[in-house]
Amino acid sequence: SPVALPPFFMRGSIIQLADGELKRVEDLKTEDFIQSAEISSELKIDSSTVERIDNGQSPNAVVIQFSVGELKAQVCVEVLLEYPFFVFGQGWSSCCPDRTTQLFELSCAKLCVGDVCVSLTLRGLR
C-alpha cells in the first residue's frame, strides 16, 4: 500500500479524550466525541452525511462525498478503502470492513450512503 496507515486506528491504541480520560480506540462511543468537542475551545463536532462513494485514483482508494454541517457543504475526500469513520450511534465504519479488521484488528461496519459521520470543524468561524 503506497499510503501510510495512521497508527491510531490499530486495536488497542490509547486515545486521550478532552477531559484527560484514556480509552482504547475500539471502546470509543459517540458520546466521547461529543463530550470532548463540548469542552474544546477550538473544535466543534459536525454531522457529515455520506452522499456518494466512488472509486478513487488507485484500486485501493475511494472518493467519499460528504454533506457537512447545517449548511450541507459538499466536501470530497479520497481515502484508502480500509480508512474508518465514526458513524453516529453506530461506531467505526469503513468502505471495506474486512480489510479494516484484517489490517487494524478494528471491528467495523460497512460505510454506506446515508450514514452520518462524526467530523470536526473550527469554532467561531463566521
Helix (H) or strand (E) holding 85: strand 85-87
Report how far apart, in Å, the C-alpha atoms of 93 and of each of 76, 89, 123 are. 17, 11, 26
Least CB distance to another protein at residue 18 (A): 6
Give the Cα separation of 93 and 39 in Å (integer): 25
Nearer to another protein, 18 or 60 (CB): 18
Least CB distance to another protein at residue 118 (A): 5
Nearer to another protein, 63 or 77 (CB): 77
- Listed in sequence order, the residues at least 6 apart from 95 whose beta carbon sits closer than 8 Å to its beta carbon are 53, 62, 64, 81, 82, 83, 110, 111
Least CB distance to another protein at residue 38 (A): 12
Least CB distance to another protein at residue 11 (A): 13
Nearer to another protein, 4 or 14 (CB): 14
Nearer to another protein, 35 or 60 (CB): 35
Residues that bind another protein (CB under 8 A): 6-9, 13-18, 22, 25, 28, 32-33, 36, 40, 43-44, 46, 48, 66, 68-71, 73, 75, 77, 85-86, 117-126
